[in-house]
Structure 1
Amino acid sequence: MTDLTTTLIHHPYKPPEGFSSPQPGVFKASTVIFPSVAAMRDFEWKDKSAYTYGLHGTPTTYMLEERLCTLEGGLQCLLLPSGLAAIANVALSLLSTGDEVLIPDNAYGPNKTLAEGELLSWGISHQYYDPLDLKDLESKITDKTRLVWLEAAGSVTLEFPDLPAMVKLCHARGVLTALDNTWGAGLAFAPFDLQPGSTPPLGVDVSVHALTKYPSGGGDVLMGSVVTRNTALHMKLKLTHMRMGFGVGANDAEAVMRGLPSMKLRYHAHDESTRQLVAWAETRAEFSQVLHPSLTSSPGHAQWLALCGGEMGSAAGLFSVVIDERYTQVQVDKFCDSLLLFKVGYSWGGPMSLVVPYGLKSMRANWPSYIRRGTVVRFSIGLESANDLRVDLAQALAKALR
């Protein structure tokens, strides 16, 4: 080769093998080079025995997938560009025209709007069930039901359902279960082993995780995962994943891998600060109800207690309050805007504390009997000092809710 450009593209140097460091290498690729045409025809990506195209996996994404399997107790994992994309991948794989999906009424909002939009337009019906009423779920399972979504704790109002009983019911009726496990994150409880020691193991069929939250930990990455323990089910999900062209960036995968070693420490730090603020919030007259699974007064407390390890069991860094209905929406909004450390913004699991007021009436089919009337405000507790956050909440209450 005499041309410089050609030489730079086809440079003969290869670095020596054996390099090792705390963080794995980052491999970026669309094109993957095969050693021969025969290899191109023989290489298989579905079982991770080889590489064929960047979209189907690289050493970086394979490594992250295996670590997430360990985190959640699964055997197979798919990576997707967001938590919502992971939810959509499950729906597109497991539901067809004429089928029905059941969703808890307190589910992550975009899961519900997906059912009300694209799924409905494709002839897939849905029903919402009361997450704390096993009989309500049972009454809504029909011959058309193919999938039941579970969420623990529930979005915004943080009810904790009886997951083992729900999974038992669904499996007895031959219905698949998919859990949005973003709150539990593989740390609060084991989604594939809900009753340790049971034979056969009692667990969900699919665990979906918004890696955007705790695994990333920085508030700067969008990614989701779908974890399973059943090979045939995983392959069904994987083929949909392939046909839809889902993929994640290598640098994003690197960022999540970098966050995993500190994830347990961060999760418990968020939890500890949250409980301090929850205890303080219960003393405030402006809040007619405080919602956090560790509180005996919070809906589903007994279920959380049983599944997450007793009084000192794990919980995510979220809590919500119901601001008494004597205060107007304008006052509630002023309270949120008056916060200095808490920033108004969606998501959670990052270093910065966040706040969002919610119009619960527009989000639920029915106002839950166990939630008092008023305006629900959710707090995501970051890694700031709990005392500094308490002072911030107090000054905002004094300024807005007088």
Structure 2
Amino acid sequence: MKTIAEINDKINRKSAIVWTAEELKVKVAELGVTQAAKEVDVITTGTFEPMESSGAIINLGHTDPPIKIRRCWIDNVPAYSGFGAVDLYLGATQAIESQDGEDTRERGGGHVISDLIAGLPVQVKAIGQVTDCYPRATFETTITRETINQFYLFNPRNLYQNFIVGVNGGDRPLFTYLGPLQPRLSNAVYSNPGAISPLLNDPDLQLVGIGTKIFLGGGIGYVAWEGTQHFPLQKRLPNRTPVGPAATLALIGDAKQMSAQWVRGCYFKSYGPSLMLGVGIPLPALNEEVVARCAVQDKDLVAPIVDFSIPRRVRPTFGLVSYAQLKSGRITIDGKAVRTAPLASVYLSRQVAIELKQWIEAGKFILTEPVTPISMERTFLPQDRWTEF
């Protein structure tokens, strides 16, 4: 048994033993769970994948005379302004508004956020509500991350614990949040990096809670709350990993500390813009149970194959498939060989875990005790009430 305080003491003395989740799995195969648990102090996990339920809080600072912004565009991408006078929220999937009929849908909030993190200038146009204390009606300027006050990511839903495999059993191509799905089961796309993914190594969220310190976009972030669509009651295998979408987390972190290497705007053809984000979670190796959970392999993790050609919330599935099969490049559906591709970058997911490992080994990142656990009893409520317009 170890404590986080004991592990942090070793981190501060630069004597902590840190393994990535991949390294841990190899060590367990070589040494067994008991010996591996004696040796390792921290296990780092990582992912780099699209996380569309993301966005940035931006405070511009007050103008002279002051303005109460009620409509705003940042590089022609609409930002939400319905709270403080110069507070804005820029959503990652908000698409740019076209200028003079030009088709500019390939750029959106995720690209603007990435540009700001990279230190690039972006243009702000604002319309204000004129009041006695906010007499200014309009405002235009150019900002960078250095010329604004607060600039932080606040992401309502990141780090799906597991997700689906998308296929298309119909007769025409479909353009989805998983990217293009070709007709007649011609390809399959999965989004989770599997056994190196953070929450699949802590399936019951025994280590991760509100206040957990994480790697977020190349900077330091924290778990702020459960994520939207958090569904920990998903069916689970005997190893406690879910068979489909389950737990999610809301994350927060200072974007001024982040790197454009780990926060990148992206675009899905005929679907819209999004944000590729690197997230890593350190798991303290407190006991053998933690190590045993982290030893899970791709062959022990499954995801459901979902047919997107059926335009309903609940779609038919072709059963479950393991991540080992998905990563092999081909799976079999109804006797047909179907090529597979990951939406997440497995290579960059590994790099997130490696960089976080290096931070800890250098004594630059210590662990935090969660303030309170994430609920594991949350149900998922769909909207099944129909209203005709």
Q: TM-score, normalised by structure 2?
A: 0.22
Structure with the higher fraction of residues in strand conformation? 2
Q: TM-score, normalised by structure 1?
A: 0.21
Which structure has more RCO (C-alpha within 8 Å, separation ≥ 6)?
2
Structure with the higher fraction of residues in helix conformation? 1
